[in-house]
Every structure is written in C-alpha cells, then in structure tokens.
Structure 1
C-alpha cells in the first residue's frame, strides 16, 4: 500500500506541474478575452490553487505514506481523499460532456486515462480507511 501511495504521489506531482501549460494548451489568451476580468482572473487563480492542492496531496503521499496507512488521523485523511477523488470521478463521467472527447483520439485517451486514475485513487484511499 505504501508503494501505491508513493506512485500516486509522483503522478499527482506530475499532474500539478502539467497545469502550468493549461493557459497555452487551452488558448486562454484568446478564449478568455470574451470573459469579464473577474472571470478571467478566477480561471487563472483557481487553476493555480487546484494545481497547488494536487501537488500538496502528492507531496503528502510521497512524504507521509506510512502515516496515512498506519495512524487514525492518516486513515481519516485517506478516507477524505477517497471521497474527494470519487466525486472527481463522478464529474468526469457525468458532468463533463462526452462532446469534449468523443471522436477525438487524444481527448478520448485522456478521458480514459484520467477515469482510470480517479478510480484507482478512490479505491486505494478508501481501502486504506477500511483496512
């Protein structure tokens, strides 16, 4: 289980740093121009804080895997993370429109990869709580 948490820690850290490329990849310079200043800045600020939280969860998994598994507080934190990633999975499957990925090779692959990743984390963190 500890190794699994360290793998998740590495993957989440990578995911956090991928957020740096979001403005360019999603063409925010053009796409956000039609939005009000508050909405433009909310997109930027929220993306930063999402990346920060994802990185910190990754760091927690890398540096405190044993504590997450062995302590009561760690188990409670793990359960919370399991619920968090389960809700993220629900959004992946039922909130994002399939129009965003269906018929597009790269987007379909990313949809599948992230669906599997959210399932993996939901199960692992929840299992830690119940073991």
Structure 2
C-alpha cells in the first residue's frame, strides 16, 4: 500500500511540474510579466523554472527510489520534508489566495508524502 501511495505522490509531483511548465501560457505571462520591473519579472520566471525542476526531481525519487524512501532513515526524512513542503504550501494558500479548492489539492500533497511514513 505504501508503495502505491509513493507512486501516486510521484504522479502528483509530475502533474504539478507539467502545470508549472504551462504558466507562461495559462497566466498570459507574455503580456503580464512585462508589466513588472525587470528584476521581478526575472525572479518570477526563475522561481517557476526551479520549482518545476524540483517537482520533477520529486517525481523521479518517487518512481525510481521508492524502496529507499520507504525503508531508510534518509528516505523518511525526504518524505517528511516533502510533506512539510506541501503543508507549508497549503498554509500559504490561505494567506495569499482565497481559493479553497486549491487548499484541498495542496493538502492532498501533504497526505501523499506523510501517510507512507505511518504504514
């Protein structure tokens, strides 16, 4: 069961990586980002590309290092860290956005990365 949850967490991470790759088109960044100062425009794009990379790394860990995540101390630390990442993202959603549907989506990430620690 824990293995399946980790694979689902990998799909979750991969899905968010793909979603972030679409930010330029989805949010009209070609038209919207030029309204920002140069430094803010650059920061937005760099943060988005680095987050995409991070999410792809998380997916790879889930798909190719499942046993290590589930059966080693380091794996447990990684899973706990990723659960905290998504818990923090959930909290930030309440602060910066009012979309409650997204809160549930980010809470799902917290659950996917923490539940295997208890199985």
With structure 1 as the length reference, what TM-score do the two structures score?
0.79
Q: Which has the larger radius of gyration?
A: 1
- Structure 1 residue runs of 5 or longer lacking an equivalent are 102-110
Q: Which has the higher contact order (CA 8 A, sep 6+)?
A: 2
- Structure 2 residue runs of 5 or longer lacking an equivalent are none
CA deviations over 1:10-69 (Å, ceiling 9, x no partner): 221122022222112211122112211111111111110011101111111111112111
RMSD of aligned residue pairs (Cα, Å): 1.7
1:13–1:124 Cα change, 3 Å:
closer
SS of residue matched to 1:43: helix
1:67–1:15 Cα change, 3 Å:
same
Alpha-carbon distance between aligned partners in 1 of 2:109 and 2:25, rounded to the nearest angstrom: 28
Specify which of 93, 110, 115 is matched with residue 103 of structure 2. Answer: 115
